């Protein structure tokens, strides 16, 4: 069944000593009971060579067993045509889309809805969808590498959606090639995306991020893979490396979605800094229940950003006696580590909501969405975010109900929409696309359909528009 949140990974290296520092002069954040133990990390570098480890690393969550016949589709009626765009004039899910924008094919028995919401969400972030197409080398078609196949087929779908949009057509685009490439990527024991089986959208999103990042490695001829990486200080205390430090290159996936996080503890009692851990993640996970509790009950929590930082601060550890600490419990702080030659803040910010169940009551959905903001100040969530970083605006939302996925996205020409209105939103349910209205209308649609948001995509204010503009 659908998972409750997107997955995130961490890379770890050898431990190092910590040096005493003066305690930071920061406001004390109220604490909640710990939500979950920190996820395990491995030494392979953001699980770059171990997809299954990355997908399982982020948190323990509730997942339902797969239904024998998910509502996403029934028995298979016909195989997909080899071309990407469906034949015009055919019925729903069989060629012509229904609505103001291009839809995506999901014939009976294919169970493509989990992938379709990922495609629509990423395509509605043109700074990524346009840039990744520009960065693909011409030689991509000459290799059988599974990661390259995923990247190339993703770009193929993006190009087809671009063509439909520029022509004003509302036909349908088939995700066939990408679905097959994902199946090959995780084939074998424990396969995640087998054809004609239901799968998890947040896992598919993470798998695509990993695959495209690896596909743009220098060995594959990635157009901009040899950019400067984050500097590694030989005397830097703590464990772990950022993704570009581990891999030796910085991909467009890392630039757009990667958060280079440095966790640390600055003891308020003795001043020792310890427990430093560095890693890169693509998604910031927040338990939906914890968000509601923090917003409604935690002292000093007023905004969604306050709640996110408050939840992160609930992870407390003892001041490390091995490096001269005093053993007093302190909250773990989270800062963004600046990337060499790039911005400390990613162009897009993915917020993953983790739910207690795959089928919650609509009152819980409404309570959660009441505390979701359509704008986000990343500097109120992480430390060391440059003060000049523009605010982020909500652009896309992936949701599920029962065993089916749908998505909402703001119209491409809506960058200057009134923030209070939330923009002009559309819904994407496979072949069917509809005009929804403002953000309040999206919330009402989620309440009516018991749609549980699982991944929210925010875009930085200066990252709007197509790649290269």
* Secondary structure in 3-state letters for 427-458: EEECCEEEEEECHHHHHHHHHHHCCEEEEEEE
**36 exposed, middle or buried (CB, 10 Å; 0-12, 13-18, 19+)?**
middle
Cβ-based neighbours of 232, under 8 Å, separated by 6 or more: 241, 245
- For the residues 383-406, what does the mean pLDDT come to? 94
Question: What is the distance between the alpha carbons of residues 463 and 224, in angstroms, rounded to a whole number?
Answer: 18
The token pair at 256 is 């757009």
pLDDT single digits (tens) 293-313 = 999 999 999 999 999 999 998
Question: What is the distance between the alpha carbons of residues 304 and 369, in angstroms, rounded to a whole number?
Answer: 11
Among candidate residues 161, 162, 142, 167, the one with its CA nearest the CA of residue 152:
142
The DSSP call for residue 118 is H
| H or E element at residue 397 | strand 392-401
pLDDT single digits (tens) 205-216 = 999 999 999 998
**Residues 56, 202 contacting (CB under 8 angstroms):** no
At 469 the pLDDT is 35
Question: What is the distance between the alpha carbons of residues 336 and 386, in angstroms, rounded to a whole number?
Answer: 9
pLDDT single digits (tens) 327-338 = 999 999 999 985
**Residues 150, 208 contacting (CB under 8 angstroms):** yes
At 248 the pLDDT is 87
Torsion angle, CA of 31/35/36/38, rounded to 10 degrees?
-40
The token pair at 172 is 């349908």
398 pLDDT above the threshold of 80: yes
125 to 47, 50, 318: CA distances (angstroms): 25, 27, 41
Backbone angles phi, psi at 459, to 5 degrees: -120, 135
Cβ-based neighbours of 150, under 8 Å, separated by 6 or more: 178, 181, 182, 185, 207, 208, 211, 212, 215
Torsion angle, CA of 196/202/204/206, rounded to 10 degrees?
-170
At 426 the pLDDT is 95
Pairing of β 452-460 and β 392-401: antiparallel
pLDDT bracket for residue 61 (50, 70, 90): very low
At 222 the pLDDT is 54
**Residues 213, 227 contacting (CB under 8 angstroms):** no
Pick the CATH number of 48-57+100-230+238-460 from 1.10.10.10, 3.30.530.20, 3.90.70.10, 1.10.760.10: 3.90.70.10
Among candidate residues 138, 144, 128, 81, the one with its CA nearest the CA of residue 107:
81
Predicted TM-score (pTM) of the model is 0.79
86 pLDDT above the threshold of 50: no
263 pLDDT above the threshold of 80: yes
438 pLDDT above the threshold of 70: yes
259 pLDDT above the threshold of 70: yes
Among candidate residues 255, 285, 47, the one with its CA nearest the CA of residue 132:
255
pLDDT single digits (tens) 190-199 = 788 999 999 9
282 pLDDT above the threshold of 60: yes
pLDDT single digits (tens) 4-39 = 343 333 333 333 334 333 333 333 433 333 333 334
Q: DSSP string spanning 290-304? A: HHHHHHHHSTT--SH
53 to 84, 203, 230: CA distances (angstroms): 32, 12, 24
Please name the residue that has the structure tokens 């009516």. Answer: 448
Least confident of 119-133, 269-283, 328-342: 328-342
The token pair at 2 is 């659908």
pLDDT bracket for residue 427 (50, 70, 90): very high
90 pLDDT above the threshold of 80: no
**Residues 116, 427 contacting (CB under 8 angstroms):** no
């Amino acid at each position: 069944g659908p998972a409750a949140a997107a997955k995130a990974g961490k890379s770890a290296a050898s431990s190092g000593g910590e040096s005493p520092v003066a305690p930071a002069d920061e406001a004390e954040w109220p604490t909640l009971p710990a939500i979950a133990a920190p996820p395990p990390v491995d030494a392979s570098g953001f699980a770059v060579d171990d997809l299954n480890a990355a997908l399982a690393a982020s948190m323990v969550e509730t997942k339902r067993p797969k239904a024998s016949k998910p509502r996403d589709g029934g028995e298979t009626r016909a195989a997909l045509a080899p071309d990407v765009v469906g034949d015009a004039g055919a019925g729903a899910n069989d060629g012509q889309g229904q609505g103001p924008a291009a839809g995506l094919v999901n014939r009976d028995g294919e169970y493509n809805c989990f992938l379709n919401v990922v495609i629509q969400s990423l395509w509605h972030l043109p700074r990524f969808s346009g840039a990744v197409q520009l960065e693909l080398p011409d030689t991509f078609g000459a290799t059988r590498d599974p990661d390259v196949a995923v990247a190339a087929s993703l770009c193929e779908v993006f190009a087809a959606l671009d063509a439909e949009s520029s022509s004003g057509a509302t036909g349908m685009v088939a995700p066939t090639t990408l679905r097959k490439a994902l199946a090959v990527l995780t084939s074998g024991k424990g396969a995640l995306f087998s054809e004609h089986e239901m799968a998890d959208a947040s896992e598919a999103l993470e798998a695509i991020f990993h695959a495209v990042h690896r596909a743009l490695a220098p060995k594959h001829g990635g157009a901009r893979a040899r950019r400067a990486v984050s500097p590694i200080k030989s005397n830097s205390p703590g464990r772990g490396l950022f993704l570009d430090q581990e891999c030796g290159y910085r991909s467009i996936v890392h630039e757009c979605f990667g958060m280079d996080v440095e966790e640390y503890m600055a003891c308020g009692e003795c001043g020792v800094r310890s427990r430093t851990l560095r890693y890169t993640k693509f998604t910031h996970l927040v338990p939906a229940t914890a968000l509601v509790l923090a917003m409604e009950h935690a002292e000093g929590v007023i905004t969604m950003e306050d709640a996110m930082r408050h939840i992160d601060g609930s992870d407390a550890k003892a001041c490390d006696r091995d490096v001269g600490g005093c053993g007093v419990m302190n909250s773990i702080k989270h800062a963004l580590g600046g990337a060499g030659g790039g911005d400390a803040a990613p162009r897009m910010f993915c917020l993953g909501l983790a739910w207690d169940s795959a089928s919650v009551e609509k009152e819980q959905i409404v309570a959660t969405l009441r505390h979701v903001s359509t704008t986000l100040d990343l500097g109120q969530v992480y430390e060391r975010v440059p003060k000049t970083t523009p605010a982020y605006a909500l652009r896309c939302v992936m949701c599920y109900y029962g065993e089916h996925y749908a998505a909402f996205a703001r119209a491409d020409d809506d960058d200057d929409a009134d923030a209070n209105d939330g923009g002009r939103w559309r819904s994407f349910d496979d072949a069917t696309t509809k005009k929804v209205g403002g953000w309040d209308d999206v919330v009402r649609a989620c309440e009516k359909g018991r749609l549980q948001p699982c991944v929210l995509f925010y875009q930085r204010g200066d990252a709007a528009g197509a790649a290269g503009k």
